[in-house]
Homo-oligomer: A and B are copies of this chain.
């Protein structure tokens, strides 16, 4: 028996599992902390794959937020999902939620600690009002083609969760994929689910083929259904340090409307680990006071874990090609091509090739080598090239800017300020700025003056003069900014006042 598991804790856990049967309330938990470099150059640290429309018209995060819509009415699904994401993605996460009519509770992780602490913060958040809901936890960056089939699986899993089990969704494999973890099935239950025998890591090709042939293994989808109190009790037993750090961080949290920022110092003390390693792998052991079940998910699931997986997940033409954006195929077969930056991408006679074009980088990969993209990004990072982590287009709380040109002593940006958006009151030591409004209306602060500029008007901000740009209107404001000076780094900025708290 695990030394850390005392009899008293076992008793607590059993009691929690029993209490769990009382509530039929579900809370969707979206784990949105990934950095997704395997879909570089579209996905980068600064703007990772869950925020992007990798498949379909909306971002993967948005598709995930809408994934519980229309769920069977026998369950009470909370209107407010809990999203756990990195601090640097809070504004865009909120914006994307607002765009699709969702008002989430966003838990901002002060540091990256993998999925187990993330789910723990979500469990504490979802049960903070004294309720003990069933958490339906799912990564923000997967695709699921058949949502009704997902709902059926969640329904089955929730019944088990209601009975105190920790349920996970497993995907019956369709090929010997080496990119997934597998779950070895235990005894089959009446509703098609299985007891979990054990979790196994990504296998080599031969082993994966054996797993698939045996019929006794399913892919680990990374989706979990568990009562909040059961999760917390299990974590307390299996990972007491993590539990303590998360509870402390949650107690120290700053809160605002739809926003929770757990205490950074306490959270920093938490070990980093995944749900699989921290808890699920312990379930099969004889001494575990908790048990797990795996529910089959046959819903066109994909983790979109590589450009090959993206190609797999999308509809193809008669030659097996997928074209996204301004793409021309000439004699190409089984080719995936995406024009993200808007340039014309032409594929001639290619086969099993992935082409991804962005504003500042182009990836061309053989489909059988797409797993090497991750290593490539590390190599780019080592050369201090910005393309590893940062896009040319940079999102800010007030909108975004795009660096459209630069030369020895100048730089040109297009700046788009959302209605109501307001840049910080700032000053530069080394550059002057010319602003030309090309769309909308700007409220400009320049030294002691304040004035409005409309389309086709311009102003000049000399070096050392305090200034601020805001959009007082109802349509996005677009300006062209021409910076002129000897040093044009982003760090030449002195902020005096900022609506978004960026002065400190």
- Oligomeric state, in number of copies? 2
Contact assessment for A484 and B407 in the assembled complex, using a CB-CB cutoff below 8 Å: no
A264–B458 Cα distance when bound, in Å, is 48
Q: C-beta contact mask, A341-380 vs B, less than 8 Å → 1, else 0?
A: 0011111111101010101111111101110110110011
Smallest CB gap from A411: residue in B: B438
A362–B342 Cα distance when bound, in Å, is 10
A190 proximal to B (CB < 8 A): no
Contact assessment for B408 and A414 in the assembled complex, using a CB-CB cutoff below 8 Å: no
**How far in angstroms is the closest Cβ of chain B from A320?**
15
A41–B387 Cα distance when bound, in Å, is 23
CB-contact partner of A348 in B328, B343, B373, B434, under 8 A: B373
Contact assessment for B439 and A408 in the assembled complex, using a CB-CB cutoff below 8 Å: yes
Q: Which residues 410-453 in A have Cβ within 8 Å of B in the complex? A: 410, 412, 414, 432, 434, 436, 438-439
A15–B373 Cα distance when bound, in Å, is 71
Smallest CB gap from A355: residue in B: B364
Given A328-B379, A372-B330, A410 and B345 contact (CB-CB distance below 8 Å): no
**How far in angstroms is the closest Cβ of chain B from A473?**
15
CB-contact partner of A331 in B344, B355, B372, under 8 A: B372
A369–B331 Cα distance when bound, in Å, is 8
A387–B327 Cα distance when bound, in Å, is 12
**How far in angstroms is the closest Cβ of chain B from A101?**
27
Contact assessment for A349 and B365 in the assembled complex, using a CB-CB cutoff below 8 Å: yes
Residues of B within 8 A of A456 (CB): 432, 484-485
Smallest CB gap from A437: residue in B: B484
A385 proximal to B (CB < 8 A): yes
Contact assessment for A362 and B362 in the assembled complex, using a CB-CB cutoff below 8 Å: yes
CB-contact partner of A350 in B366, B375, B385, B414, under 8 A: B366
Residues of B within 8 A of A115 (CB): none
